[in-house]
Amino acid sequence: MEKPTSLIIIFGATGDLAKRKLFPSLFHLYRKGKIGNKFAVIGVARRPWSQEQFQQHVQDSVLTSLGQAEDIESFVQHFYYQSIDVTDSSSYVQLNELANKLDVQYDLNGNRIFYLAMAPEFFGTITEHLKADGLTATNGFKRLVIEKPFGHDLESAKQLNNQIREVFSEDEIYRIDHYLGKEMVQNIEVIRFANALFEPLWNNRFISNIQITSSEVLGVEERGRYYDKSGALRDMVQNHMLQMVALLAMEPPIRLTTDEIRSEKVKVLRALRPIKGEDVHRYFVRGQYGPGAIRNEMVPGYRQEANVDPESNTETFVAGKLMIDNFRWAGVPFYIRTGKRMSAKSTKIVIQFKDIPMNLYYKMDQPLSPNLLVIHIQPEEGITLHLNAKKAGQNMETTPVKLDFANNSIDGMNTPEAYEKLLYDCMRGDATNFTHWDEVALSWSFVDEISKVWESTREEKFPNYAAGTMGPKAADELLAKDGFHWWPVSDFEVQSK
């Protein structure tokens, strides 16, 4: 396969995202031979660094991530630095001069990727300058990579999209949702569509409910100022959680192309039952963590975190019941929950199959365990199938058994970092695992109705769960009303208090 060739211009190159994710991911691609020597990277930021400082920064980033790295010297020689003011046209003129020089030096055919790894308020400004100051006037392809959040609500997302579409067409815009780069999220399609064991059962006749949990042990850390204006609903549900719901619920695409897969995901988001007004309190639960213990160490509550309003009404936890009103999923609840300062770090999907019509092995003191398909996304990656089998001995008693597949045990190393996959996809022009505008718009329109209710009513019970637990009691009651319960995500899980 021909190796992709392009100039990558990273805005925000001195920031945390570039240091922790982008530089190590590019190095992985370089070491694996997926990108050859026909690539160059221009780091763009406000700091008045020299090229040598920037190259040392890139090298330190890779070594911190990997511990040691062969070929690091030749790798960093592909990195250049330009200090700019993103609002000043003269800075872009200088940047374009450097870009044109590197295009010739590395034989890049005019291919350019603009990666915006910085504050969202600059997205529109930067894209307008890219066109006005000549950086998009190239003979090769031009692509824009944007980190979340894409807007703060539907209206702001529309405004941002309109600005960007003045410069880039929809097929040139790559909106990153790093969950879509994770190995096991991408594996959802394969599990469903490549196995006769599952696809015939993947509907409301055989599935009773689906649960998606994404829990974090960490608090807001240094993101307090951003998070207090965002909250878990906008930070996690609008993008990551709804994307996983769409992948789980979509119809089989006609073929595995970007347009066909995106089309099926959009149909799911269109079929989501709108949750409005008083229904929000019936279908959704919000929480905010208070002080508590994480691994026997006391941690502060959300309101005591840096840059957080001491009387904040922002949710750090969301649990919800989603209904998809189409032929396949009518009547099947999709339960989602996500939160900070919970008892375990885990992203996991549990598909619970319906009980068999007649249980020949039923005992009052030992009900038959349901069949479960568990997709482990992080930190472990793999699949577990929960079945029932005969317990050893003379009696015909049953016992639950688990069939496990773990991705990271195959070759003794972790699967590729999500950003590595997504960067490579972008360089190859594969937008399948990036978010289309239609998905963004439908997600915001769904979430905005919930935000409207929560922002207009102050939650007097905050904080309503202790750090180190799995969220407020109301999240358990949400499922109990339907006769279900949350399946544990790890051995460390502590039930709500």
Report residue 349 as tokens.
Answer: 């999907």
Q: How many CB atoms lie within 10 A of CB 71?
A: 10
Give the active site residue among 78, 129, 240, 386: 240
Distance CA 417, CA 179 (A): 10
Helix (H) or strand (E) holding 213: strand 207-215
Distance CA 124, CA 136 (A): 15
- Any catalytic annotation for residue 386? no
Respond yes or no on whether the N-terminal peptide bond of residue 463 is cis (omega within 30° of 0).
yes
Report residue 272 as tokens.
Answer: 């989501």
Dmax over CA atoms of the chain, in Å, equals 84
Chain mean position to CA 207: 25
Strands (E), 16-71: 39-45
Report residue 9 as tokens.
Answer: 């211009």
CB 123 within 8 Å of CB 147: no
Q: How many CB atoms lie within 10 A of CB 251?
A: 14
User: What are the CB-based long-range contacts (under 8 Å, 24+) for 295-303?
Assistant: 295/468, 299/219, 299/341, 299/467, 299/468, 300/219, 300/467, 301/463, 301/467, 302/219, 302/220, 302/340, 302/341, 302/463, 303/462, 303/463
Active site residues: 240
